[in-house]
């Protein structure tokens, strides 16, 4: 297939690299020209995505938020209007379910399929082609997207025949993921107040009932004092904001999610927004007067 990938950050680049390994012709686009050049050096195509659009079979959108997604698809140089009828847009972005439904309807006006396909698994699994994809859309959208899904995902959950369901499932996942990261940060710093070194925490807790995938993935960043952003702090005010907006609309109280959101907002306010989301531990450390590994 000829596939465009818009957004070559940690997740999008992994998706693009997985598609190249699977033998697809991949055209990358990103506001950072170095990311595009890097992809081309690893087998991506030199022709700009905009120039190749009319011949593309699929476009995976892996940008930051709903506003960027709508600009990519329907803005002044929107890709949706340049695709041929029968092509498919695969939206991997965490967006509100209503936005996913609206984008699907707008794509349909041009005869373009839309698959609501938010992703989970982090940058490592993206690079390995082992993402989990929570997808919903028409049978035709799934059929058009299948080669891309096969190349990028270990598990594809087919959740329904219309857009919005995949995004709703992603909101549930993000509710858990965000609160688990905040809980990890709270627990590892609480341990320090009790004389438990972060290294000991990481040795013991993954073998106990209190562990989680997020704890096992993020706590090593705290122990190493390495906050290279695999998933940045600033993602969470957006994602948990989507969760809480949906919860309010459903008249559903989500107090744990709200508490976690405040910690990520605090971390962003401390200037940590572009650091790895494990840096939310620094909020707890600052408030308790603690020093974490890697800090003087």
Residue 69 CB partners (closer than 8 Å, separation 6+): 61, 63, 91, 93, 95, 99, 103
- Strand-strand pairing, 2-6 and 58-61: parallel
- How far apart, in whole angstroms, are the C-alpha atoms of residue 245 and residue 295? 36
Beta-carbon-side half-sphere exposure of residue 171 (alpha carbons within 13 Å): 20
282 catalytic per annotation: no
- How far apart, in whole angstroms, are the C-alpha atoms of residue 87 and residue 2? 10
Nearest to 70 by CA among 107, 16, 37: 107
Q: Which of 170, 238, 251, 282 is catalytic?
A: 170
Nearest to 181 by CA among 225, 224, 212, 223: 212
Nearest to 175 by CA among 229, 249, 99, 94: 94
Q: Which residues are catalytic?
A: 170
């Amino acid at each position: 297939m000829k596939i465009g990938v818009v957004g070559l950050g940690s997740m999008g680049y992994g998706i693009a690299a997985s598609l190249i390994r699977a033998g697809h012709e991949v055209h990358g686009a990103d506001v950072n020209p170095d990311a595009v050049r890097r992809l081309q050096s690893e087998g991506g195509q030199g022709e700009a995505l905009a120039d190749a659009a009319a011949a593309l079979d699929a476009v995976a959108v892996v940008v930051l938020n709903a506003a960027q997604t709508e600009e990519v698809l329907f803005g002044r140089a929107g890709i949706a209007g340049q695709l041929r009828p029968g092509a498919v847009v695969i939206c991997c972005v965490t967006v509100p379910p209503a936005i996913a439904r609206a984008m699907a309807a707008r794509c349909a006006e041009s005869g373009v399929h839309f698959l609501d396909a938010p992703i989970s698994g982090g940058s490592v699994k993206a690079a390995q082609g082992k993402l989990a994809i929570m997808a919903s859309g028409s049978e035709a959208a799934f059929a058009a997207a299948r080669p891309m899904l096969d190349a990028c995902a270990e598990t594809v959950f087919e959740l329904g025949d219309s857009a919005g369901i995949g995004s709703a499932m992603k909101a549930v996942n993000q509710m858990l993921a965000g609160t688990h990261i905040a809980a990890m940060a709270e627990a590892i710093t609480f341990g320090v107040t009790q004389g438990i070194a972060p290294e000991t925490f990481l040795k013991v807790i993954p073998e106990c009932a209190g562990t989680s995938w997020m704890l096992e993935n993020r706590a090593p960043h705290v122990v190493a004092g390495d906050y290279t952003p695999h998933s940045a702090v600033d993602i969470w005010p957006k994602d948990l904001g989507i969760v809480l907006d949906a919860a309010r609309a459903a008249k559903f109280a989500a107090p744990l999610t709200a508490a976690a959101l405040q910690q990520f907002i605090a971390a962003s306010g401390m200037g940590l927004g572009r650091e790895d989301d494990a840096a939310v531990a620094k909020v707890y450390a600052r408030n308790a007067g603690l020093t974490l590994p890697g800090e003087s």
